[in-house]
Each structure stands twice: as structure tokens, then as C-alpha cells.
Amino acid sequence: MKRFRRQFFLGTFALIVATLMALWLHAKFSHVLPDYAFLTGWVLFAAMLVLTFFNARKKLPFLPLGKAETWLQIHIYLGFFIVVLFLIHLDFRTPHGWFEITLAWLFALVSTSGVVGLFFSRTLPRRLATRGGEVIFEKIPALRHVLKSEAENLALGTDAKSPIIAEFYTKRLAPFFTGPRNSWLHIVESRRPLNALVAELDDLHRFANDAEREKIDKLAALVRQKDGLDYHRALQLALKLWLFVHIPLTYGLLVFTALHIVLVFGFSGGAR
Amino acid sequence: MSEQLPAPDFDAQNYARPNQNWVCGHACEGNSCRQGPDARGRCRATAECQPVLETQPGEQKGRWRCTRPGGTCESGPLPDGSCCRPIAKCSPVPTLRVWRGRATITVMAASCAMLLVLLGKPPWRNSFISPGEISRVHSGEAFVALAATNHLNQNCGACHVAGNSGTHGIVKAALHADPGFFGFHKFLAATAGEVTTIDEACVKCHVGRSFHQPNAAAISCSFCHAEHQGKIMAATTDANCIFCHGDAAKMVAARAGNNLTPVIHHFAEDHPQFRFITDNLRDPDTLKFNHALHLMGATIPNLPGGKKLDCMFCHQSDAAGAFMKPVNFEDNCRVCHSLQFDPETPQLILPHGSAEFVSAFLRSLPRQYADLAKNSPDENGFVQQKLADLRTQFGSGEDLERRIFFSTATFGPEAQIGTLSGGTRALFPGCALCHEVKNSSSGSPEITKPVMPERWLAQAKFNHAKHANMACAQCHDAVHSKDTADILLPAKETCAACHSPRGGVVDTCATCHTYHNTLVVAR
């Protein structure tokens, strides 16, 4: 924790200093250097490549390129700083023209998805740890299958002989155990669906004998386990899905940026 | 590379392989096979084991031994050596990593495809890559016509070489740009406002960029006139002007020896006083006019209709309302100064505009009186009587002529009569009251032609219509001016009272000044 705090304060301090320096340089040179936008553009592009290389770095673990953790810290703080660079490159104006507007939107989406991803990666693991349990995302379907089999055995097994439980299982629990449920509600930390289902199971107690009540209690425990599994799946999926926006759009942004560079030099003052 | 051994508690039967791209199709049932899919997502399941043929010494056929991990099965291998427990084939499922890779490739492919389509078709390309709307002057019908006349491309190619060609041409232009992609030293060495290659496109139509001063440094057109900013080209700002005029290093050298203020930043602050004041310039006009008398004098009669003479009677705005029409005798003076010289015969009026005409008129007075008495029974008697009266009053004909030209004493009828009557007086003092009258070398009177400048401060822009809510006297101190030589323009402080940050009215350089000489013409 101490190390994390040190990293946080160091990174934030570096970010603030870099931002102030960039703004100072902008104020000093933006009206003096006619090709100022070319310079800021190249700096911006270089920063984009460094940020993109973080993804490549994870795929090249055998190369001595420093620790992935260091790269992540650079990615986060440079990611914030690149927004400042982008605004400086635009000279704090809104872009004009279809191409530039598309480029700006791609940049905004990549940046926003990055911030969302950072928020997820800082908050969701803590929530998972608080909820308890440790599940590998890829094993969740198998674990769900196991829970479903156990619940089926309890409710519909040969020694069941309980029409109340069988009917309840068929109508309410079978769909619940079949696949992931209530992902959005898990994201917003709502336990309303679980409490409703458990309350319905509790209501069955009134119509059940002692043996059936024991089964109902076991089913309630399985329901809680399945809900926990869904919670893990929802949060772990959120931790993975933001990358579906961040990474593809990053490469789309690089394609547009490459064309932007060609167009700028092709149509600039020096390209008559 | 040595293969790492698995941990003691590693469950080889239930290995999730989270870093691989494909997951066994049976994984969701918790029955993933030991081998798992191959790298291309194909199921590699065959059987639970691959039996091994073991041949004892002396045996010819040998025995197939079950090698199933976790223990041999009950049945053992089949006689042909195959496993008796085949594993059902599955359809391997791609992991999220694969889906993410596919999404990335899709986005990149879609981006490339979209760009190729949009760049491939010229009309789409031009509108897509344009960094903003072109100003009306460079895109309207007039420009298209002008471009056609000048054999120019009417689209992007009019200014950009790359605009004439397709994608290949754009890349070629980019590769040959100067400064090029990595010309960082040139980016850093470039100075603001310096002429760039693209300025060559401007001078194709704007022939010979002309600057407001012959010694003004060459400056890039786009430094002041930023294109692609919308239908109306972005206005030149004070920053553009101050770039030179606020730079002491440039201006002190440029204005050395001409006594001009070197550095100017703001009109209200360090803009110099107008030069007609500092140089005590006087109006060189020879016409004698007393503004104070005409506006405030008690002897000035009212105009026809009873209205008092005011500024607006003589100074009327032109059609655009920006400036005043020149004052002329017929419209503005004759109503009072009707040039009637004979008190008894006010119908006779001297001509205006030429001293020769006046002399000729006076020498033809008998004919003039005869024309007046044309229908009278005693025409000759009328003429003789009138001439006698003139001789009595003025002496000889030469005396009359001299008096008419040179006298400043009033005479003539007390009031207009006939069609000219408006209740105003028409006292005629003689030409010299208003004009400079001299004797020519031939002895005949000569009147110096008045020269009234239509505009003072000709280099500055001004619009009277925009100042219509102000009284004339707020800027022009005419009521205190008795001398024609007074230049009745306001001082800088009068303008700056409004045209300043404190006054709240626009005070940019371009409000009054233009940069280019008016010689700049389109071909």
C-alpha cells in the first residue's frame, strides 16, 4: 500500500509538472513558431506510440523491456498527459472538417475508455475481494455447470420426491442456474434479485416438511454460490470488456493518425 | 529451453489454459479434454489414451498397454491398439482475447476501407479531408469563374498541388514537402509570418502582393488570412498587425528617419495623434468660408420653409452613407447666394463657374435687358433706362465688372423675387467675398478654382452611417471655426473616447486601416 501511494504521488506530481511545463511552452512558442503544430503533432504521435506499445509489451514477455508494472504506470500517467498534448496540438480549438472531427472523436473515445478502464481496474478488484472467493474467469462456466448439476440433483434427483421443490426449481431456479444472470445489477452492486430469490425459497418453508426444508436450505446455499459466481463473472467481464473499446479504437486511431500526418504534409504550406 | 515442471497440485485434467486463444467446447461442462484445441481452434480430441505396444522377450505380437493418465481403464486397449474410450469431438470456443483481436482487426479493416472509399472518389475526398469550410471568396461562383479564367483548378487543387491528384499524389506531395516529415530543424528555425511555398497559389490571382508600405517585410498571406475557417474568412486581428508594429526591433529600423511612431500596440494607448494635428496642417482651399458664421451668425437667414441652416443642408451623405457628397454651389450655396447684382432687376442672375462667362455676361447686358423687355412696347427705352441706372450706381461698365469681381461689399436685391423667392436675401457682395480673385496677365479677372478635398485621412476607413447617432458637433468643431483653412476633423482622443476598451466600441487596427494598397487587383 505504501508503495502504491508512493507511485501515485510520484506519478501525479510528474503529471502536474509535465502539464504545467507543456502549457508554459505552448504559451511561449505557439505564436512564435509557425510550424508549432507540426512539433506538437510529432510529440503527440510519439506519445501515442509509447502508449500503444504497452499492449505489444505484454505480448513480448521474453524481451528485456522492463517490468509490465512500470509500463502500466507509464501508460496511465502518459495517458492523462496525452490529453493535454492533444488539446495543445488543437490549440484549444474545436476541430473542423469531417476527417479531423472523426479523428478527434476517436481520440476522445480511446481516452475516455482508458479512464473508464482505469476506474474499473482500481475499483472492481477491491469489490471482488470484498465479496470473497477467487474464481478464474475461464472456469466460471464449468463451476456454474457443477452448481447446476448439484441443484438439479437436489430438486429433481431420484430421491427428491418433493413436488413443491421440483415445481419451484423448474419454474424459478432452472433458468437462474442455466446461465449468467443479473450482470448489470451486479455491476451496480445490487443484491435485489438474490434477496428476492432467497425470500421465495424461504416462503417454501411454510409448505415443506423437515426433509424438504433441509433441501430448501441447501438450494438456498447453492443459489448464493451461483449469485456469487455471477457477481464474479459480471465484474471480471467488465474488467475485460472495456478493452474491447480501448484497444480496437486505438488501432483505428493510429490508422487515422497516419493518414492525418500524410494529409498535413501533403497539403501544408511546404507542399506546393 | 528446458521445460518447466508443473506444480505438485497442478490438475492436468482440468487445465483452463487462460492464455490460449481457444477453449475446449466441453469446458463449460467441466469436462475439457486434456489436450485442448490446437492454435487454430481445431479439436484435437482422439481418445483417453494412446496405448503402447509392449513386447516381452520371445513374444512376436506383444500386448497393448493402456496409458490413460490417472489409471488404466477396465477394458484396456482394443486388439488393433486403439483406445477403447474415444473422446467425443467438440467445437472449440474462442476466448475473449480472440474476440478482442477480431474486433481490433475489424476496426482497422473498417477504418482502412472507409478511408480508401472516401479518398478514392474526388468529391468525397475533398469534402472529407477538408479541415474546414472554405471562405465564400475562394469557393463561390465568382471564384469558380475566376479560376476558370486563370486556368486554375476550381477545387482543392487551386491552392494545393496534392488536391489535383488522388491518394498516390497526396502521398507523393507529402513525401516531397519541405520541410519534410522529419525536418525538425526547419520546424524550429521557421519564423512566424515567413513566406511559404503555398503563397505561390495566392499570387496566381492576387497578382503581386502589394503591401501598405514599400519597405514592409514580405509576409505570408496565410499569416493574416487563415483559410478553412468558415464561409467568411477569419478577420485579421490586432495580433497580426502588432506582429510587426509592436516589434520595436523591426519598426525602429523600418521607420528610421521618417519621424513616425515606431511601436504601436493599441489605438487608445500608444497610437500617435493624427498627423494633420501634429504637423499643423491647414486646408489649402482658396474658398473663403466661415463655418461659425453660417451656423451661429445672427445675419444668416432661414432656409426656404423657415428651417435654420445646419450642417446637414450642405453636407449630405452619399448613397452608401459612408462619406459626404462634395459641396457644390448649385445645391448648397445658390439658395442664399443667388448672384443677383441689379437691385432693380433681380431676374438677372450672374452665371457661376467661369470668370470668362461672367465677363461675357456683363458685356452683353444690353442684350440681357432687351431679352427681359422683349414683350414690352418700349423695349429700347427699358434697356437705356436700366443701363443709365447702372451707370449712376456703379459708373462705367469696367467699374461694374471690377466691382462684381473684386468687391466684398454687399449689394443687390434685399430679397429674392419671382420663382427664386423663398424669403431669403440675395445680397451679392461680389465674387471676391468667397473666391480668390486676381488679375490675370491679360488684365482680365481670374478666379482661383476652389479645391475641396473629398476626403481627409484617405488611408483610413470611416463610415458616417455608423456614427449617425452622434451629433456632427461631437466630432467636428465647426461652430468655432471661422477660417477655411481649419481642418474640422476630430483629434485621436475624440475617437478613442468610444473606440477603446473603456469606450466599449471596437478599436482594432482594421477598424480604420487597410493593409494592402488599393493597387492589388485580381487578374
How far, rounded to the nearest angstrom, does the alpha carbon of residue B430 sit from its chain's CA centroid?
52
A94, A144: one domain:
no
What pLDDT was estimated at residue A186? 94
Query: What is the value of ipTM here, to two decimals?
Result: 0.90
CA-based nearest residue in chain B for residue A93? B229
Chain A residues in contact with B237 (beta carbon < 8 A): none
- The β-bridge partners of B94 are B22
CB count, 10 Å around CB of A11?
16
Q: Residues of A with CB below 8 A from B111's CB?
A: 251-252, 255-256
Query: Using the beta-carbon criterion (under 8 Å), do B32 and A33 form an inter-chain contact?
Result: no
Write down the pLDDT at residue B429. Answer: 74
Same-domain status, A178 and A254? no
Give CA torsion, residues A154, A159, A160, A162, to 10 deg. Answer: -170
Q: What is the pLDDT of residue B201?
A: 82
Q: Are A222 and A151 in contact (CB under 8 A)?
A: yes
Query: Which pLDDT belongs to residue B492?
Result: 94
Give the least confident one: A133-142, B144-153, B227-236, B474-483. B144-153
Residues from chain B that touch A270, judged by Cβ atoms under 8 A, are 177-180, 196-198
Q: Which of A98, A145, A256 sits opposite B29 (nearest CB)?
A: A145
pLDDT band at B197 (very low <50, low <70, confident <90, very high): confident
pLDDT for position B423: 47
Task: Give pLDDT, residue B37.
Answer: 87
pLDDT, position A160: 56
User: Does residue A14 lie within any of the structural domains?
Assistant: yes
User: Within this chain, do residues A128 and A246 fall inside the same structural domain, yes or no?
Assistant: yes
CA distances (Å), origin B305, targets B23, B147, B227, B321, B332: 106, 57, 56, 26, 15
In total, how many domains does chain A have?
A: 2
Cis peptide before B179 (omega within 30 of 0): yes
Q: Do A29 and A101 lie in a common domain?
A: yes
Residue whose cell numbers read 500617435:
B272
> Between these two residues, B510 and B7, which has the higher pLDDT value?
B510
Looking at chain A, which residue has its C-alpha nearest residue B230? A96
Same domain, A40 and A166: no
Residues 212-271 of chain A whose Cβ lies under 8 A from any Cβ of chain B: 240, 243-244, 247-249, 251-252, 255-256, 259, 261-271
B158 CB within 8 Å of a chain A CB: no
Phi, psi of B63 (to 5 degrees): -130, 140
- pLDDT confidence of residue B460: 84
The angle that helices A210-267 and B167-175 make with each other, rounded to 10 degrees, is 70
A48 and A90 assigned to the same domain: yes
pLDDT in tens, chain A (272 residues): 678 888 889 999 999 999 999 999 999 988 888 888 999 999 999 999 999 988 888 778 788 888 888 889 999 999 999 999 999 999 999 898 899 999 999 999 999 999 999 999 999 999 999 988 888 888 888 899 999 999 999 888 777 578 889 999 999 999 999 999 999 999 999 999 999 999 999 998 888 888 889 999 999 999 999 999 999 999 999 999 999 999 999 999 999 999 999 999 988 866 54
Question: What local confidence, expressed as pLDDT, does residue B336 receive?
Answer: 81
What pLDDT shows up at residue B427? Answer: 59
Do B43 and B91 contact (CB within 8 A), yes or no? yes
Q: Which pLDDT band holds residue B1 (cuts at 50, 70, 90)?
A: very low
CA atoms of B212 and B199, how far apart (whole Å): 18
What are the chain A neighbours of B197 within 8 Å (beta carbons)?
Answer: 269-272
Query: How many residues appear in chain B?
Result: 523
Mean pLDDT computed over every residue of chain B: 84
User: Percent helix, strand and coil across chain B, each rounded to 5?
Assistant: 35, 5, 60
Q: Using DSSP bridges, classify how beta strands B437-439 and B63-65 pair: parallel, antiparallel or unpaired.
A: unpaired
B426, pLDDT greater than 60: no
Same domain, A153 and A231: yes
Asked whether residue B109 carries a pLDDT value surpassing 50, the answer given is yes
Residues whose CB falls within 8 Å of the CB of residue A55, separated by 6 or more in sequence, listed in order: A247, A250
Give the lowest-confidence range in B26-35, B60-69, B488-497: B26-35
With beta carbons under 8 A apart, name residues in chain A contacting B127.
Answer: 98
For the stretch B129-144, pLDDT in tens is: 888 888 888 887 877 7
| pLDDT at residue B419 greater than cutoff 50 | no
Estimate to the nearest angstrom the gap between the alpha carbon of B367 and the chain centroid.
Answer: 63
Q: Quick check: B162 contacting A, CB < 8 Å? A: yes
Q: Is pLDDT at B523 greater than 60 in this prediction?
A: no
Residue of A84, A80, A81, A103 whose CA lies nearest to A92: A84
Three-state secondary structure of B79-128: CCCCCCCECCCCCCEECHHHHHHHHHHHHHHHHHHHHHHHHHCHHHHHHH
| Minimal-distance CA residue of chain A relative to B178 | A270
Which residues does chain B have within 8 Å of residue A263's beta carbon, measured at their own beta carbons? 129, 170, 174
- B322-381 pLDDT, tens digit per residue, is 999 999 998 888 888 888 887 778 788 889 989 999 999 999 999 999 998 887 788 888
Residues A59 and A178 in one domain: no
Does residue B453 contact residue B324 with C-beta atoms inside 8 Å? no
Question: Does residue A211 sit within a domain?
Answer: yes
- Residue contact A146–B30, C-beta within 8 A: yes
Residue B453 pLDDT greater than 80, yes or no = yes
* Domain co-membership, A245 together with A231: no
A253 found inside a domain:
yes
Residue B353, phi then psi, degrees to nearest 5: 125, -20
User: B239 CB near a chain A CB, below 8 Å?
Assistant: yes
By the CB < 8 Å criterion, does A33 face chain B? Answer: yes
Owning domain of residue A90: 2-133+241-267
**A8 and A119 housed in the same domain:** yes
Q: Which positions 90-149 of A are in contact with B (Cβ < 8 Å)?
A: 95-100, 136-139, 141-146
Q: List, in sequence order, every beta strand (DSSP E) within B2-66.
A: 22-23, 52-54, 63-65
The three cell numbers locating residue B126:
475533398
pLDDT digits (tens, 9 = 90+) for B3-13: 456 566 666 55
Residue A168 is which amino acid?
F
Q: Quote the cell numbers at residue B161.
A: 498541388
Query: Is the pLDDT reported for residue B320 higher than 60?
Result: yes
Percentage with pLDDT > 70 across chain B: 89
In this prediction, residue B126 carries a pLDDT of 83
Q: Which of residues 79-98 of B touch A (CB under 8 A)?
A: 95-96
Render pLDDT for B155-190 as a digit per residue (tens, 0 to 9).
787 888 787 778 888 888 888 888 888 888 888 888
Which of chain A's residues have a Cβ under 8 Å away from the Cβ of B160?
Answer: 266-267, 271-272
Read off the pLDDT band of B410 (50, 70, 90).
low
Indicate whether A89 belongs to any domain: yes
The confidence score (pLDDT) of residue B108 equals 95
- Which has the closest alpha carbon to B416: B309, B362, B337, B351? B337
- A183 and A72 assigned to the same domain: no
Residue A272 lies in a domain: no
Instruction: Check residue B152 and give its pLDDT.
Output: 64
